[in-house]
A = this chain, B = another copy of it.
Amino acid sequence: MTGEGVVADETARERLVSAAISAFADKGFHGTTTRDIATMAGLSPAGVYVYYASKEELLFSISEEGHRGVVAAMRAASARAQDPVGKLVSIVRAFALWHAERHTRARIANYELAALTPEHQTLINGIRRQITSELEEVVRAGQLDGSFDVADVRMTTGSLLSLGIDITRWYLDSGHITPEQVADHHVHLALRIVGARPRARPPASGPRVPGSARSPEVDAPRVEDLA
What residues make up the interface of A, taking CB atoms closer than 8 Å to B? 26-32, 110-111, 114, 151-152, 155-156, 158-159, 162-163, 165-167, 169-170, 177, 185-186, 188-189, 192-193, 195, 226
Contact = CB atoms under 8 A, between A and B. Distances in A.
19 contacts: A26-B114, A27-B30, A28-B28, A28-B31, A30-B32, A31-B31, A111-B169, A158-B170, A159-B185, A159-B189, A162-B163, A162-B167, A162-B170, A163-B163, A165-B169, A166-B169, A192-B193, A192-B195, A195-B226
Nearest to A154: B177
Most B Cβ at <10 Å: residue of A31, A162, A165: A162
A189 B189 CA distance: 10
B166 A162 contact: yes
Given A27-B28, A110-B169, A165-B169, 11 more contacts: A28-B31, A31-B31, A151-B188, A159-B163, A162-B170, A163-B163, A163-B166, A165-B166, A166-B166, A189-B193, A192-B193
User: What is the predominant secondary structure among interface residues of chain A facing chain B?
Assistant: helix
A28 B26 contact: no
A183 to B, nearest CB: 12
A152 B29 contact: no
Contacts of A155: 177, 185
A165 to B, nearest CB: 6
Nearest to A188: B151
Given A29-B28, A162-B170, A111 B111 contact: yes
Contacts of A151: 188
Nearest to A185: B155
**4 tightest CB-CB pairs across the interface, nearest first?**
A30-B31, A28-B28, A162-B166, A27-B30
A177 B28 CA distance: 29
